[in-house]
């Protein structure tokens, strides 16, 4: 079996293979190929390439001959045209928005796994790329915000007077939100957090932050623990409750996303303008529509002295570690279902992990939600 790792797009510093995971693949007698134009900072991976243990090929050759193709970002339709039938494509596919792409995968009988759909179960934790990348995104959000903030984060006792700690408000207490809270606390900020799921209050408090309580009435969550979309009335109540907190915050970080749907607008222009000039807002959901009114993909917007940061690739700000954990997620996924006797990936469609994350296989949609949306 051979696995191909194509070059990512020009603004992507992460990669889906590291020297460490390459050695694990090679021990299983799996042949590895990387696109010949990729430049690596990974000394071990470069050494494996120089000694031809990991081989380099052109993009077209790699796509057309691979048994498995692994990447972070989804392939283009032009790429898919070169992929042979029954190849397995593994990446963040964004299957609910990339309808044309997944239809093409199905029509060409190309198997595909969407890393967003790996279930949040104990057994699948080591493959959960959504969580591993969100963790680093939460860290990066705080670091970027602190770089743009015109204040220091921790309290400082100096001969010239006492500097008060900056105040950070985190909206959404999932994986990214928890890491943002932990990072801001480690940097000495005073941290508050809000989530529609009141059961996360203990997690917030365990990190030394204050949980902001806003009565929204009955709220729901998905089977995997994510918050479900709020009603229009609940969103209005949430905005009213958060406005006061935002106005006294130096940094606001929003993480609220609903998978497969546009992100909810929870920070209005009025709430932004209530903040003090020099404050910073990081919209972590900007790539799916944004939580913050006025945020723009890939841009820093200045509204009356308040900066709204719309970084679309926060994990990519720490590409070495982001690549490390993603490459491990990929290896763990393939290793879990690799049949060494026949040197092939085993499509056990009765397995709960595969039934969730396989989008297309043998000309059919497999994931239940994807199938329902495309019928």
**Which sequence positions are flagged as catalytic?**
120, 125, 128, 131, 226
Same fold, 2-117+337-373 and 137-317: yes
Residues near 359 by Cβ (< 8 Å), separated by ≥ 6?
Answer: 93, 95, 102, 105, 112, 113, 114, 117, 365, 366, 367, 370
Q: How many Å apart are CA 189 and CA 164, to the nearest integer?
A: 9
- pLDDT under 70 in the chain at which residues? 217-229
pLDDT of residue 215: 79
Q: Domain spanning 137-317 has what CATH number?
A: 3.40.50.720
Q: Where are the domains of the chain?
A: 2-117+337-373, 137-317
Contact 369, 260 (CB under 8 A): yes
- What letters, b where the CB count within 10 A reaches 16 and e where it falls short, cover 197-218? beebbebbeebebebbebebee
| E strands, 78-211, in order | 88-92, 111-114, 156-158, 161-163, 167-171, 190-194, 210-211
Q: Is the pTM of this model over 0.85?
A: yes
pLDDT of residue 171: 95
Q: How many CB atoms lie within 10 A of CB 50?
A: 9
pLDDT of residue 6: 98
Instruction: Scan for tokens 């796509």, then name that residue.
Output: 63
Instruction: Scan for tokens 């992990």, then name that residue.
Output: 353
pLDDT of residue 223: 55
pLDDT of residue 219: 60
Architecture in CATH for domain 2-117+337-373: 3-Layer(aba) Sandwich (3.40)
Q: How many Å apart are CA 252 and CA 97, to the nearest integer?
A: 28
Q: Could you tell me the two tokens for 76?
A: 């283009």
Burial (CB < 10 A; 0-12, 13-18, 19+), residue 368, is exposed
């Amino acid at each position: 079996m051979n696995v191909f790792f194509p070059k990512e797009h020009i603004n992507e510093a992460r990669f889906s293979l590291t020297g460490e995971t390459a050695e694990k693949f090679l021990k299983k007698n799996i042949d590895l190929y990387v696109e010949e134009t990729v430049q690596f900072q990974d000394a071990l991976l470069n050494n494996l390439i120089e000694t031809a243990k990991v081989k380099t090929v052109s993009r077209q050759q790699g796509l057309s001959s691979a048994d498995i193709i692994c990447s972070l970002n989804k392939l283009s339709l032009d790429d898919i045209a070169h992929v042979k039938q029954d190849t397995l494509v593994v990446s963040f596919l964004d299957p609910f928005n990339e309808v044309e792409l997944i239809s093409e995968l199905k029509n060409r009988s190309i198997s595909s796994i969407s890393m967003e759909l790996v279930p949040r179960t104990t057994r699948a934790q080591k493959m959960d790329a959504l969580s591993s990348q969100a963790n680093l995104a939460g860290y990066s959000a705080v670091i970027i915000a602190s770089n743009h903030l015109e204040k220091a984060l921790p309290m400082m006792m100096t001969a010239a007077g006492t500097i008060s700690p900056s105040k950070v408000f985190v909206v959404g207490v999932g994986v990214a939100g928890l890491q943002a809270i932990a990072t801001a606390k480690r940097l000495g900020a005073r941290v508050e957090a809000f989530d529609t799921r009141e059961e996360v209050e203990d997690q917030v408090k365990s990190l030394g932050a204050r949980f902001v309580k806003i009565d929204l009435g009955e709220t729901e969550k998905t089977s995997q623990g994510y918050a479900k979309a709020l009603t229009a009335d609940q969103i209005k109540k949430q905005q009213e409750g958060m406005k006061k907190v935002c106005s006294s915050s130096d940094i606001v970080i929003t993480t609220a996303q609903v998978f497969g749907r546009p992100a909810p607008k929870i920070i209005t222009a009025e709430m932004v303008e209530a903040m003090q000039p020099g404050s910073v807002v990081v919209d972590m959901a900007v790539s799916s529509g944004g939580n913050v009114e006025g945020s723009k993909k890939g841009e820093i917007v200045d509204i009356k002295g308040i900066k709204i940061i719309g970084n679309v690739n926060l994990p990519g700000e720490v590409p070495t570690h982001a690549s490390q954990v993603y490459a491990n997620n990929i290896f763990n996924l393939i290793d879990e279902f690799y049949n060494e006797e026949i040197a092939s990936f085993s499509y056990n469609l009765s397995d709960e992990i595969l039934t969730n994350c396989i989008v297309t296989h043998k000309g059919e949609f497999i994931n239940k939600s994807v199938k329902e949306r495309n019928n």
